[in-house]
Amino acid sequence: MVATVEKPWGLFLGYLILGVTGSRASDTSSQIVNGEDCSPHSQPWQAALFMENEFFCAGVLVHPQWVLSAAHCFQDSYTIGLGLHNLEARQEPGSRMLEANLSIRHPEYNKPLLANDLMLIKLNELVTPSDTIRDISVASLCPTAGDSCLVSGWGLLVNGRLPTVLQCVNVSVVSEDECRELYDPVYHPSMLCAGGGQDQKDACNGDSGGPLICNESLHGLVSFGQDQCGQVGVPGVYTNLCKFTDWIQKTIQAS
């Protein structure tokens, strides 16, 4: 995978391959970098997407029957884990494993490249809120530069080992101008940059579809970044969900 912003096509091609098909055991670029164990069930909206019993992407419960994730995680069907803290203990108390056979990608996904990277997945049954499973509202106002946000996921750690429990890391929102400059010419208004600080905290493509929580609302989904995570001055890119509140609401209501 190309690891320079100046060569985005190679970078994104590698990202797409790893983000969608890379297993957690082999994709060493997938990692929450310099984070820590989340407090158990502190992110009750966190979803894990499985295909043939293998975890491959994350998601966010935004409605009792709908999970939001990155469009590049699209599959024909999914098993969705909710209420999980330890990914290897799928029958832990308070967790649910649910099937889903309908997912709707944003109609403008990948138009242009990697823009509008979101989809909705409809669970085959409604979920009853509990201490370990709860949906979260999507922010209608866009975040501002400097806002502190939390990202969570089960990607590989920076040391290449698998975490046993959900990882959390705080990153700061980068200004739209800086995001555009760093990711020119592929920057699109549907994108949001966060991270890239001196603390080298970051998320990577193995955490694709996972939540970016700012001010107690869902502001973003992990979308893409460079293969070497946690580089100073190089933030990760997230889907900027404040731009999609109408589409999310209308899609849920229509389906």
Active site residues: 72, 117, 208
Residues 152, 165 contacting (CB under 8 angstroms): no
Q: Is the peptide bond before 112 cis (omega within 30 degrees of 0)?
A: yes
Beta strands in 175-250 (DSSP E): 191-194, 211-214, 217-224, 236-240
Through-space distance between the first and last CA atoms of the chain, rounded to whole angstroms? 38
Taken in order 176, 179, 181, 185, is the CA torsion positive or negative? Answer: negative
246 CB-near residues (< 8 Å, 6+ apart): none
Beta strands in 43-183 (DSSP E): 46-51, 54-63, 66-69, 78-82, 96-105, 119-123, 148-153, 167-172
DSSP structure class, residue 206:
G
CA distance 237 to 221: 9
Residues 61, 67 contacting (CB under 8 angstroms): yes
Residue type, position 15, single letter: Y
